[in-house]
Structure 1
Amino acid sequence: MSDSSTARLQLRGITKQYPGCLANDRIDLSIEPGEIHALLGENGAGKSTLMKIIYGVTQPDAGQIVWQGEPVVMRDPAQARERGIGMVFQHFSLFETLTVAENIALALGAAAGSPRQLEPKIREVSKRYGMPLEPHRLVHSLSIGERQRVEIVRCLMQDIKLLILDEPTSVLTPQEADDLFVTLRRLAGEGCSILFISHKLNEVRALCQTATVLRGGKVSGDCIPAECSDLQLARLMVGDAEGLEAEYPKAEGAAPFLRVERLSWHNADPFGVSLREVDLEVRAGEIVGIAGVAGNGQDELLALLSGERPLVPSEGDTIRFLGDPVAHLRPDARRRHGMAFVPAERLGHGAVPSMSLADNALLTAYQQRGMLGKGLIQRSRVKAFAERIIQRFAVKTPDAETTAASLSGGNLQKFILGREILQQPKLLIAAHPTWGVDVGAAAAIHRALIELRDAGAAILVISEDLEELFQISDRIAALSHGALSAQYPTASTTPAEVGRWMAGQFDTRIPASTPAA
């Protein structure tokens, strides 16, 4: 451990106990000025709790924080920001009904100026760091990737000394992540310390000089990431490395389950994306991946496919499922047809934060046999279903009555995906299925998707993670400015080519022939 006189931040014996869970167990950690330090660990290892303690969101039960050589008590985030600590949370902390500028002004305080006064600086900072933002836009109109940009830019507008990043690249393309790394290296070169949490081990190896590994709330080891392989880092985090480097055979789909033909949709939101003549087919027994930079129509396409934005009956032929028009149907009706959905946003969209896991399981699975009887909820069956999800997908939680908000992001993601998969849908549409999930959990999710595919289901995965799409997809396409490229077998293309599609450079290759229904 570094001498406290030179370290920017030292944690000594930090301990935090929650009911039924020792989140942090006597953790020691030290970060030097200008150091990019990774914090690794599987979901539920205690990483987010530790970051919240540093940022003043949560108070430790024991231990000491030493900031620039002086013991301190970080009472709240405002005090942390005054000391030059900024944090980008995995779950966004933005007010959806306010503009980008208003959100940033709230975080910086009255001394920084009014939202209008901050607008030129927001534009300048966001442009300089390759994350352009429009200060007038309301947050609720932003895509997930754009909201992430707001969080990062908000921190960069402070006189930052320590920047804490919790899964900052979860919804960024490889190109965007590379741009962010240029920014982070520049900040580190200027003396800013960076604490970096990521489950993308290739990023950790490329960016971070040192790493601390947590397992079960304790420090299990330290390492220099550049001297380790991804597999070695994964073993430090999860112990058992089985399946972490799996290569799945590609499948050729059978009959078309989902067909989208010339789907055009005008978005009345001036900051939204309109869809332009989208053609898409997902067949039984295959996974189709859709890549794209955040904000290019992924949210709009998902809303139209799930029924959150139903079309008028006259437009019903644009989306067909098993030959029947469904574009005019609402989500519950589509679910009765055998469709299931995993939304991009976990809390508030995929799950109700204040409700138990059992009740969250019931929200989409109530149509399953045995959940309801004579108008009454069959609580024992609901609980059994939730417990089956927890056991099958290794969700770390005390029990099925735990609230969704109390789970780590990765564990909640496993629960939501498991809830949909265990309903054995004919078609599963999943957005960012492994966003913020550790390598072990991601491998388990991928195996579950492949098993569902091999059982004959059709699966559509929308993701900004090209590595994931190439690993599990049988065919792949890309969205750019509301237009969808043709779909091609994944084995016949490359990440570089898909990257060009993501930039709107669609080629003229003829897609592989479509098998007859």
Structure 2
Amino acid sequence: MTAPPRLELLGITKQYPAVRANDGVALTVAPGQIHAVLGENGAGKSTMMKIIYGAVKPDAGEIRWNGQSVQIASPAHARALGISMVYQHFSLFDTLTAAENVWLGLDKAMSLAQVIERIRAVAGEYGLDVDPLRPVHSLSVGERQRVEIVRALLTNPKLLILDEPTSVLTPQAVEKLFVTLRKLSANGCSILYISHKLDEIRALCHHCTVLRGGKVTGEVDPTKETNASLSRLMIGAEPPQLQHRPAKLGEVALAVRGLALPKEDPFGTTLERIGFEVRAGEIVGIAGVSGNGQQELMAALSGEDRRAPAGSVTLFGQDIAQASPMARRRQGLHFVPEERLGRGAVPTLSLAHNVLLTRTEGVNRRTGWLDMAAIRAQSAELIRRFNVKAGGPESAAKSLSGGNLQKYLVGREIAANPKLLIVSQPTWGVDVGAAAQIRGELLALRDAGCALLVVSEELDELFEICDRLVVIAQGRVSPSIATKDATIERIGAWMSGLWERDHVEA
């Protein structure tokens, strides 16, 4: 007899106050199948995954697990069935170590010491660089993602749900992850794979279900599709081609000279003799594997860390090394952090109130009173201009999908007309259409004379929008190289700190 499907969804529907996230969704996943779920931001993918994992209860429909109808009451119930999930927004406790976080998600058959050994074994087997003893608060986004993946693998899942698993991984790390996933698939584990990276879906997945507006709009074999055909299925069109004109360089906007900072956290990275410039009218990209000093450098440039030596960071010739974030914003420096929820936005506040984190147009500077009508209008304009799917300015930040919140936060800073914009991971977890829109907005800002510094672990993104590149490795930065003179292989080698061999002039 033929084995029943590992998972079946029949007529799954979920209504929220402002949107119907899932509308009669049907899905069938076979044992050992790597099944992609594709859709633009807000299409209902994450809601569907949360229903399967027991974190959200559907309003209607049926779930069958190995042919048997089930009602998955909670994530603990899902894990007992053999379902594990790695969320796009991580669910880790900052004050605990990686091992302690993993231990919390397991039954207590193993001691903490045994869990530490298992983490090291699994991480080594699958090429995932995880130190089980490090506190989570000291980890970069990419390192936290590895902890989540290892935690899921330790449960020996029969169905593994991955929501944007490669969004902050390097190409080398992605290849290692794919080896892991193919091995799991060969051993009978089914995988539900959410990604906006069409090349990955075509290279990895056996089947693909496409969602649009909460409904299934197609099922295809991704190996027989092109990026263009998948884009049309997902967003109804191909993403627009970016117009990358030659840079018209202006004055030096940001100059970093001899920036050295001892690490504050025992697991952080010490910055050593950092030096580079960003001129008006250009985009400079910073490439590197997460955990090599990106967080520390961004904190020093944004004003979150004000220990930088006097004169080591200047903005249009003015020393800002020890200036506050507000003082830097007043001089034209705006910043988009890599962490959307908790740093870029307050999760429980409305989109309108989140504008006030970095913008003060709706504040009466003399009295301090807020003009909420003006602030809501400003928020509504951001939602319209950047095509953000949200219930309106009063919607809580945490109610948006990751990609839609990213569009809103990037838009908030772009609309402030910055003189220097620093962006970390600009299109993390964003669909192809939205990613093209964000990158297009960054290029338009550059063409208008703004200076931009973009930190990204997406090498393809850096090559697409940047005029020059530098690489950060072990707290040091390479000389700059014109993007037209760089290759993926060369930048990959520099990520290991090997740029001295090339003797490239800055």
Report TM bin, short chain.
over 0.9
Superposed, 1:451-490 pairs within 5 Å as 451-490=444-483
Secondary structure of the residue aligned to 2:232 is helix
Deviation at 1:250, TM superposition (A): 4.0
User: How many residue pairs were aligned?
Assistant: 505
Q: 1:188 to 1:5 in 2, by over 3 A?
A: closer
Secondary structure of the residue aligned to 2:200 is helix
Mapped partners of 2:319, 2:43: distance in 1: 46
Q: Residue type of the partner of 1:159?
A: N
Q: Does structure 2 conserve the Cα–Cα contact (< 8 Å) formed by 1:292 and 1:464?
A: yes
Mapped partners of 1:456, 1:256: distance in 2: 11
Deviation at 1:252, TM superposition (A): 4.7
Secondary structure of the residue aligned to 1:220 is strand
Q: Residue type of the partner of 1:332?
A: M
CA RMSD of aligned residues (A): 1.4
> What is aligned with 1:97?
95
Q: Residue type of the partner of 1:60?
A: P
Which residue of 38, 57, 60 corresponds with 1:59? 57
Deviation at 1:374, TM superposition (A): 2.5
Superposed, 1:168-207 pairs within 5 Å as 168-207=165-204
Secondary structure of the residue aligned to 2:310 is helix
Mapped partners of 1:215, 1:190: distance in 2: 32
Secondary structure of the residue aligned to 2:314 is strand
1:482-505 CA-partner distances (Å, limit 9, x unpaired): 110111110111111111111111
Q: 1:447 to 1:373 in 2, by over 3 A?
A: farther
1:381-426 CA-partner distances (Å, limit 9, x unpaired): 1111111110010000111000000000000000000000000000
> What is aligned with 1:83?
81
Q: Residue type of the partner of 1:181?
A: F
> What is aligned with 1:228?
225
Superposed, 1:499-510 pairs within 5 Å as 499-507=492-500, 508-510=502-504
> What is aligned with 2:5?
7
> What is aligned with 1:120?
117
1:172-194 CA-partner distances (Å, limit 9, x unpaired): 00110010000000000000000
Which residue of 27, 33, 36 corresponds with 1:35? 33
Secondary structure of the residue aligned to 2:391 is coil
Q: Residue type of the partner of 2:255?
A: R
> What is aligned with 2:375?
382
Q: Does structure 2 conserve the Cα–Cα contact (< 8 Å) formed by 1:4 and 1:69?
A: no
> What is aligned with 2:351?
357
Deviation at 1:371, TM superposition (A): 6.0
Give identity over the alignment, percent: 53
1:337 paired with 2:335, answer: no
Secondary structure of the residue aligned to 1:11 is strand
Q: Residue type of the partner of 2:70?
A: V
Secondary structure of the residue aligned to 2:13 is strand
Which residue of 128, 131, 134 corresponds with 2:131? 134
1:327 paired with 2:303, answer: no
Q: Does structure 2 conserve the Cα–Cα contact (< 8 Å) formed by 1:260 and 1:320?
A: yes
Which range is displaced more, 114-123 or 471-480?
114-123
Q: Residue type of the partner of 1:474?
A: D
**TM-score, scaled relative to structure 1:** 0.96
Mapped partners of 1:481, 1:242: distance in 2: 36
Secondary structure of the residue aligned to 2:428 is coil
Q: Residue type of the partner of 2:37?
A: L
Q: Does structure 1 conserve the Cα–Cα contact (< 8 Å) formed by 2:231 and 2:239?
A: no
1:187-227 CA-partner distances (Å, limit 9, x unpaired): 00000000000001100110001100000000000111111
Q: Does structure 2 conserve the Cα–Cα contact (< 8 Å) formed by 1:4 and 1:10?
A: no
Which range is displaced more, 131-140 or 209-218?
131-140
1:37-96 CA-partner distances (Å, limit 9, x unpaired): 000000000000000000000000000000001000000000100111110000000000
Secondary structure of the residue aligned to 2:357 is helix
Deviation at 1:280, TM superposition (A): 1.2
Q: Does structure 2 conserve the Cα–Cα contact (< 8 Å) formed by 1:56 and 1:74?
A: yes
Off by >4 Å, runs of 4+ in structure 1: 369-373
For structure 2, the 5+ residue unaligned runs are none
Mapped partners of 1:15, 1:7: distance in 2: 21
Deviation at 1:477, TM superposition (A): 1.0
Mapped partners of 2:335, 2:243: distance in 1: 25
Mapped partners of 1:316, 1:426: distance in 2: 22
Secondary structure of the residue aligned to 1:131 is coil
Mapped partners of 1:373, 1:278: distance in 2: 40
Secondary structure of the residue aligned to 2:46 is helix
Mapped partners of 2:434, 2:271: distance in 1: 33
Q: Does structure 2 conserve the Cα–Cα contact (< 8 Å) formed by 1:42 and 1:237?
A: yes
Mapped partners of 2:149, 2:322: distance in 1: 39
Q: Residue type of the partner of 1:30?
A: T
Mapped partners of 1:373, 1:386: distance in 2: 23
Q: Residue type of the partner of 1:129?
A: Y
